[in-house]
Chain A
Amino acid sequence: MADYINTFGQKIQYLSSDPDPVQEGQVWYNSTSNTLKYRGSNAATAWSSGGNLNTGRDQTAGAGSKGSGLAFGGGYPAVNNTEKYNGSSWTEVNNLNAARRTMLGFGTQTAAIGAGGVTVATNEIWNGTNWTEVNNLNTARSSAKGVGITTAGLAFGGYTNTNVATNESWNGTNWTEIADMNTARAALGGAGTQGAALAFNGGPQANVGAGSIYNTETWNGSSWTEVNNTNTASEGAGSSGSNTSAITFGGSIYASSGSNNRTEQYNGTNWTEVANLSTGRSTGGSGSSESDNKSAMYYGGAGNTNSTEEFTGAGETTKTIASS
């Protein structure tokens, strides 16, 4: 087998974080997320079919990226199944210790967190092989959003017996309560990292007819600031990306009592509608380690569907080649 250095005349960069700025064609290894990445280019924006989940499920949590995803938990009734995705098919791997639904998930396919759920504070960490129980959230809640990695995470929003604006920071060992969001909400979207996150959409959860939420807030590591709203209010949508390049897709619009297939991209200032999902649905799982709004996946969802769709955005994007 040919070595990369012999073919291209240079070694692959070994970096603790993604390079910034990054150039098209650049290849590097991210030692924090344990992923091999490159900067490529796509001609157009579209969703395409991915491999079907082995266990169709609603309200599932997710981590990883389009080429290396991780789906865990879900229901109703709650399941503990975990599956990993290789870009073509899903494979069953070791289960969660505690079956849960509407938990939050973040991290990569080889290092993830699954916390909360109806209605517990339980927290488990995934090392690529097994789930292990670790220190709980301070506030037991379901339908919160999580972003980050297993040593630096953020969990915001959610539902106790009401919507909450609660925000907790994870340092790899403990959760700590920090500054709340401006708008309490559950089943919200989110993107980014522990120090630079974005929260958007969400809902009054069970309160049908009360309306879903448009609001978008950006987090700078110490406080949340309102920025421009999404075009469509929804809850239970999929989401990923960064706080300056995010994407949201699907979700429920309670005002019209149905799932939708709309997709919106955020460029750091505004939300713009782009290509729709083939299958409109809510409360599916989505990856959390996508670096921008040009790559995403959505799997499972209402009706315990097993369908997966993969998003490819136009223009340059950072792609994950492999995780270890």
Chain B
Amino acid sequence: MAKKYQYCVAESWGKGFITTTNSIKMSPRNFPGNIWRIAANSQYSNKWVIAVNGVHKTLAQAQTIVTAALDVVQDAWDANNVDGESADEKNFRIGIKPADITLEE
């Protein structure tokens, strides 16, 4: 089956990193670790990766980066506690624990 997505690592500098045209043509999605999911088999996507100094990653490589970045965030969430605080109170204070992410091919 043809791949729907490709992945790269690239750091957003803010305004202009993803334009409205980029968004329409690639449907970009950001994940922890500066991983970006964009449309596969697309010259437009490939040119965008070059334009933002991105580095292509395989699905497995991207998954490893996302999982490692998420581990850091989840560990920080686990360690962020206040004495006597209930689980609900913690969720209210700092939000729910970031969920595991499985990237799609």
Contact = CB atoms under 8 A, between A and B. Distances in A.
Which of B88, B94, B96 has the most chain A CB atoms closer than 10 A to its own CB? B96
A283 interface: yes
Nearest to B101: A258
Contacts of A275: 23-24, 27
B92 to A, nearest CB: 4
Contacts of A236: 95
Interface string B13-24: 111111111111
A313 to B, nearest CB: 10
A312 to B, nearest CB: 5
Contacts of B99: 256-258
Interface stretch (A30-38, A265-273, A300-308): A300-308
Contacts of B71: none
A283 B88 CA distance: 17
Interface stretch (A50-58, A169-177, A316-324): A50-58
B91 to A, nearest CB: 5
A206 B89 contact: yes
B92 A49 contact: no
Contact of B20 (A48, A206, A280): A48
Interface residues on A, range: 35 or more
Interface in B4-46: 12-24, 27-30, 36
A48 B18 CA distance: 5
Contact of A76 (B13, B28, B30, B94): B94
Given A49-B19, A51-B14, 7 more contacts: A46-B20, A46-B21, A49-B16, A89-B15, A205-B92, A207-B88, A302-B98
27 contacts: A46-B21, A47-B23, A51-B14, A51-B15, A58-B94, A76-B93, A89-B14, A89-B15, A205-B92, A206-B91, A208-B96, A252-B96, A254-B96, A256-B99, A257-B96, A258-B96, A258-B99, A259-B98, A275-B24, A276-B27, A278-B18, A279-B29, A283-B95, A303-B98, A307-B12, A308-B14, A312-B20
Interface of B: 12-24, 27-30, 36, 73, 87-89, 91-99
